[in-house]
């Protein structure tokens, strides 16, 4: 089944992941409609994209014209109705099934009949999200990794009723974004999180078992296991709340004890220590 041509991409939610996906899409030449709930949040996301594109100009990776052209392709909005002419909409809102189901149901009433609807969910069921619409064959998972502009992988997730065309179109878009897409089915955690979440939870349990500091645990896994960044730095980057949610979602579905979030990070989440985005997690960040 051939992929459908995509010209205009919508991104719902311009947090760290959504802004990263929007950045990739404007760099790849797509017209992009990016929706945030307030104009201020939309402007913040635009500023974030402008900043990272400027760093690429500074390092000689792209020209100043290419940066301007890419930014001109981004249309921030607060209105879902702005997605009416999108060929593909990628959802990157909060990891809450009810919120996603409500959004997909609303989107179905706005977009055209052929528009593909993709979710960037980390750990929820794409099939359950697809059940919100009367045309679930157009729904797929496009799971990017944090930070989206840098991590090469995107998991293209086939839900129970996804059409071949939707899957192949999402795969082709992933390639055009410069990613290395893989195809997989809609199982809990898909491929990477099924492996990475329990592994990270093991790492975090070792903090207490071996009475090792976060700094030394990170050194252990970078210097001793070749990880590009240590587990505490990584969980701070992903977001403590996102990691706790993904752990709970996997544990709920698969019941493996290692998948349950360690009490230490649940307490951190409850205390508002969310990692890099809140300025404090295992480490303190002055730049957020
Ligand atoms: N968005 C866009 N651009 C960014 C960025 C971001 N968030 N962060 C950094 N950059 C750009 C910057 O311009 C930076 O250059 P400057 O510092 O000169 O401005 C450039 O990228 C390179 O950044 P780094 O020097 O920090 O790059 P690095 O070589 O150290 O690699 C890394 C960074 C790719 C993140 C690497 O550390 C890595 O692979 N870490 C592991 C990350 C990982 O495992 N992610 C998966 C998390 S799990 C997940 O996401 C799944 C889920 O569902 C929760």
Q: Is the pLDDT of residue 200 over 70?
A: yes
Strand extents, DSSP E, 22-73: 31-35
pLDDT digits (tens, 9 = 90+) for 120-160: 999 999 999 999 999 999 999 999 999 999 999 999 999 99
Q: Is the pLDDT of residue 40 over 60?
A: yes
pLDDT at 133: 97
Q: Is the pLDDT of residue 288 over 70?
A: no
Tokens of 47: 């500023």
Atom of ligand 1 nearest to the CA of 146: 50
Asked if 235 and 269 touch (Cβ cutoff 8 Å), the reply is no
Distances (CA, A) of 50 to 19, 41, 46, 66, 70: 10, 14, 6, 12, 9
Asked if 43 and 37 touch (Cβ cutoff 8 Å), the reply is no
pLDDT at 287: 75
For ligand 1, say whether the CB of 126 is within 6 Å of any of its atoms: no
For ligand 1, say whether the CB of 145 is within 6 Å of any of its atoms: yes
For ligand 1, pick from 25, 26, 147 the residue to mutate: most ligand atoms within 8 Å of CB: 147
Instruction: Give SS3 for 206.
Output: helix
Q: How far is ligand 1, taken at its centre, from the CA of residue 24, in Å?
A: 14
- Cis amide prior to 206 (ω within 30 degrees): no
For ligand 1, say whether the CB of 229 is within 6 Å of any of its atoms: yes
User: H-helix or E-strand containing 143?
Assistant: strand 139-144
Phi/psi at 129 (nearest 5 deg)?
-65, -40
Asked if 109 and 61 touch (Cβ cutoff 8 Å), the reply is no
Tokens of 220: 């252990």
Q: What's the pTM?
A: 0.96
pLDDT digits (tens, 9 = 90+) for 41-59: 999 999 999 999 999 999 9
pLDDT digits (tens, 9 = 90+) for 236-287: 999 999 999 999 999 999 999 999 999 999 999 999 999 999 999 999 998 7
């Amino acid at each position: 089944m051939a992929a459908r041509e995509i010209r205009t991409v919508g991104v719902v939610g311009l947090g760290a992941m959504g802004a990263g996906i929007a950045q990739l899409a404007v760099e790849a030449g797509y017209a992009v409609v990016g929706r945030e709930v307030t104009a201020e949040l939309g402007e913040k996301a635009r500023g974030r994209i402008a900043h990272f594109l400027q760093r690429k100009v500074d390092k000689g990776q792209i020209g100043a014209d290419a940066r301007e052209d890419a930014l001109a392709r981004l249309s921030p909005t607060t209105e879902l109705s702005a997605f009416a002419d999108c060929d593909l909409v990628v959802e990157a809102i909060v990891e809450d099934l009810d919120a996603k189901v409500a959004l997909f149901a609303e989107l179905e009433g706005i977009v055209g009949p052929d528009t593909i609807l993709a979710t960037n969910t980390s750990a929820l069921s794409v099939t359950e999200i697809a059940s919100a619409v009367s045309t679930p064959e157009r729904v797929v998972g496009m799971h990017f990794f944090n930070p989206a502009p840098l991590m090469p992988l995107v998991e293209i997730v086939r839900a129970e009723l996804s059409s071949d065309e939707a899957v192949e179109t999402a795969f082709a878009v992933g390639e055009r974004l410069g990613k290395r897409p893989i195809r997989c089915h809609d199982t809990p955690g898909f491929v990477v999180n099924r492996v990475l979440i329990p592994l990270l939870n093991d790492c975090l349990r070792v903090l207490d078992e071996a009475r090792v500091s976060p700094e030394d645990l990170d050194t252990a896994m970078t210097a001793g296991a070749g990880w590009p960044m240590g587990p505490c730095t990584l969980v701070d980057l992903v977001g403590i709340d996102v990691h706790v949610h993904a752990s709970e979602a996997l544990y709920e579905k698969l019941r493996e004890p290692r998948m349950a979030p360690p009490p230490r990070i649940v307490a951190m989440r409850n205390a508002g220590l969310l990692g890099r985005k809140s300025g404090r997690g295992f480490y303190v960040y002055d730049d957020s």
